Copies of this chain bind each other. A is one copy, B any other.
Amino acid sequence: MSLEVALRHKLGAFALDIAFSSPGGLTALFGPSGSGKTSVIDMIGGLMRPESGRISTDGRVLVDTATDTFLPAHKRRIGYVFQDARLFPHLTVRQNLTYGRRFVAGAERYGDFDETVALLGIGHLLDRRPAKLSGGEKQRIAIGRALIASPRLILMDEPLASLDDARKAEIVPFIERLRDEARVPIVYVSHSVAEVARLASDIVVLDRGRVSAAGPARDILAGLDLLPGAAGDEGGSRLLLNFARLDAQSGLSLFQSPAGNWHLPPSAHRPGDRVTVFVKASDILLATKPLEGISALNVFSGRVTALRPTRAHEILVDLDCNGDLLTARITRHSAERLGLFEGMAVQAIVKTVRLKES
């Protein structure tokens, strides 16, 4: 389930020179507008031919300019969700959705029609044609069309950009399931760090046609400064939690990790289930002594392992809470006021309502 990409290509004045490999899971391509994200997945998808380079999945070579290999798009079994939906205007929504299905042997099908339709909330549109659908409706159908074709590699180009938060919140878990259960590698282009943080197992950061950072999501998200511009605001840490129980009294889900006990919004799990949470660095409040009478339910004792200055007025504080590694972002002013130093014992405090499972 791996993907290896190495590409060089010139597009007018724009030069693309990219190499990364992904061990499977969901690889996010992240970078500012015009950095080459769409071009890269066009080449993975077989819509563009790189001037030189090689792309392979699980040893299957899709392109290799050295041996003049070029597998045409329709033999790649990719599901491509385009930045513009590109629905077939002459077909009904239903026909659009099932278009790719016939090319997949029954045994290899995994994108169930009814389930996908229900999830995307497009059941009432099945007999319409795309022209007069709203922007978000089109995009949902484009997602469905790619998934129902049960591809072996999924390419998604900002699939959620035109969806409202509620709809996003419904679809994101679906993409997670796809990543985890169907074991289909996904290459996911997004501007949204929140999405990337939640979904990505690996992140490739592009900048003006080059890879400026690449690696497991955990590392990239923690190395916040690597993310360009305002995206840094969204960085944080990802932790693995064990489900303990649904607390009858508070109505909250209780989890455990080396750091201690976690309170999260309610969710259906069985004891022992493991989930990940993403804790935004800017959501962590630090305190130098135990606090009382505060509304926040998640308080962990830890030790400062590093102080990393970031923008002019801010600083990143790496914490080790009994083995769980967290990063907090606070003002330098606060850090000075609190007299933080490496090795100092502190409390990390997070509000329950700011936490979400992923």
Q: Which residues of A contact B (CB under 8 A)?
A: 11-13, 31-34, 37-38, 83-84, 124, 128, 132-137, 140, 157-158, 161-169, 191-193, 228-231, 233-234, 247, 249-252, 263, 265-266, 282-283, 285-289, 291-297, 312-314, 328-335, 338, 349, 351-354
Nearest B residue to A266 by beta-carbon distance?
Answer: B313
| Of the residues B162, B229, B265, B328, contact of A166 by C-beta under 8 Å | B229
Question: Complex Cα distance A288/B234, Å?
Answer: 30
Taking CB atoms, residues of chain B closer than 8 Å to A349 are 285, 294
Say how far A123's CB is from chain B's closest CB, in angstroms: 12
Say how far A253's CB is from chain B's closest CB, in angstroms: 9
Say how far A230's CB is from chain B's closest CB, in angstroms: 4
Q: A132-B12, A313-B266, A333-B251 are in contact. Are A296 and B285 (CB under 8 A)?
A: yes
Contact A252 B165 (CB under 8 A): no
Taking CB atoms, residues of chain B closer than 8 Å to A351 are 282, 285, 330
Say how far A146's CB is from chain B's closest CB, in angstroms: 17
Taking CB atoms, residues of chain B closer than 8 Å to A158 are 135, 162
Say how far A330's CB is from chain B's closest CB, in angstroms: 4
Contact A164 B330 (CB under 8 A): no
